[in-house]
Chain A
Amino acid sequence: DAKTTQPTSMDCAEGRAANLPCNHSTISGNEYVYWYRQIHSQGPQYIIHGLKNNETNEMASLIITEDRKSSTLILPHATLRDTAVYYCAASGTYKYIFGTGTRLKVLA
């Protein structure tokens, strides 16, 4: 499974879009990109995943570059409740190798 790298922390103003990048330059063709978030040391919560097309659900959008070496999770209108650690993982085998995650702080 490919290794992922993410910025350690980011701030975002409430109501603005939060764009969280993830680098997965060694991703192979059959590996999906998954995003999770963890609030207050609870169990991680699934957000979204994708293979090569951009994806959108009720929580977020996922933009994957054409070469699939990086992706961006977009929270379109961040709220204070979106403050969490966000993890991306690349996997094709159900076994995740989580990166160190990005600590997103949404500011009022």
Chain B
Amino acid sequence: SAVISQKPSRDICQRGTSLTIQCQVDSQVTMMFWYRQQPGQSLTLIATANQGSEATYESGFVIDKFPISRPNLTFSTLTVSNMSPEDSSIYLCSVVDPLAGAGEQYFGPGTRLTVT
């Protein structure tokens, strides 16, 4: 399965600032996703990161707040902009491994963000 790393692993940020989270995969993958997991909650899909085109956002998430880049088939970034304490969450990227079977996703270790 694909090996995924994220940077930073955790950060504490002040409200009003922005943080960019990096996701690196050890192989080329077509589909990459970004999720948010608020404290004690399940995972919520933010967007699908498309290589060579704009990301596709889920209801409730907008590009101005969560801009995403996908410059190539192994890398993506998610920026959390103009942060507030409500943005304190774990942010995870995932990929669909083209060598795997029927679309199972593999997740990075997550970035734990605390906004003060």
Contacts and interface: CB of A to CB of B under 8 A. Distances in A.
Contact of A44 (B45, B96, B107): B107
B45 A97 contact: yes
B49 to A, nearest CB: 12
A95 interface: yes
B106 A95 contact: no
B79 to A, nearest CB: 20
- Chain A interface, DSSP helix/strand/loop, else mixed: loop
Q: Chain B's interface: helix, strand, loop or mixed, by majority?
A: strand
Q: Which of A36, A43, A51 has the most CB of B within 10 A?
A: A43
B15 to A, nearest CB: 23
A41 B90 contact: yes
Interface of A: 32, 34, 36, 41-46, 49, 51, 87, 91, 94-101
